[in-house]
Amino acid sequence: MMVSRRFYDCPLSETLLYTAFLLLMSIGYLMALVYLYTSHEGHDGKPGLSIEDIVDTYYGNRSGTRLEAAVRGPMAGYVQQDEDRYEIIAWLKSGAPEAGYRATVRPIVERSCLQCHSPASGLKIPDLSTYAGIKTVADVDTGESLHTLMKLSHIHLFGIGLVALGIGLIFRLAALPPWLKATLMVVPFAAIFADILAWFLTKWDPFYAYTVVIAGVLLGLAWAVQIAISLYQLWFMRTPEGNAHY
């Protein structure tokens, strides 16, 4: 029977190559975590990363538009009469058409909002003086577009798939029970697939945000275990004859 190659069979050059690659990928993974946290946290208005932040990213906040939330909430004080608020909300519910903006909404915002919400004010807030400007707060937020998700998913599938292959190719030299090794090797690929599938499913139903989280955690754990075992066996595992490798 052919004896499989193990980490203790690696010469120093190979050991260094694998070690450097695994350490670099660990740093890359930590960077990705920090990036994920800072780009998604607080999406829902609360500090910290929560399931709602993930839902907001992929599914969006479909309970209404930013304009409706503003005239019911923080901007309510600037609306001169309730009629105006009803007009704005009715316009939003009708799909926010340009003709309606000119006919009914524009006169209201001119009276109540443009002293702040126009380029002349110099404030960095939505410009309500043009149709294009008001549209940015008048569309129902449905999260990342399908187009963006497709762009992100092919980059992820190729990129993370190759990282998983690199880590897995090194990890195959580990001395472990075959079932455990096989499981640890397959989990990252399954997790990447589930994660990306879940982005699209979350767009359809916010429930799948949990799958995004579970898949992400599984991927992280499987990689952490593969990298830890590989580094340990590369440097500290003894040969079957009981000799120290280095």
Residues making contact with ligand HEC (CB under 6 A): 66-67, 70-71, 74-75, 78-79, 109, 112-113, 115-117, 123, 125-126, 137
Residues 78, 83, 89: CA angle, nearest 5 degrees: 80
Closer residue to ligand HEC (CB): 75 or 157: 75
Closer residue to ligand HEC (CB): 110 or 205: 110
Closer residue to ligand HEC (CB): 106 or 172: 106
Q: How far is the CB of 49 from ligand HEC (least distance, A)?
A: 20
Neighbours of 11 (CB within 10 A): 8
Which residue type sits at 27? Answer: I
Whole-number Å distance between alpha carbons of 148 and 221: 27
Residues 177, 179, 182: CA angle, nearest 5 degrees: 105
Whole-number Å distance between alpha carbons of 193 and 201: 12
Q: How far is the CB of 82 from ligand HEC (least distance, A)?
A: 12
- CB 100, CB 111: distance < 8 Å: no
Rg over CA atoms, the chain: 27
Q: How far is the CB of 151 from ligand HEC (least distance, A)?
A: 26
Whole-number Å distance between alpha carbons of 100 and 130: 13
Closer residue to ligand HEC (CB): 88 or 194: 88
Q: How far is the CB of 61 from ligand HEC (least distance, A)?
A: 10
Q: How far is the CB of 75 from ligand HEC (least distance, A)?
A: 4
Closer residue to ligand HEC (CB): 72 or 156: 72
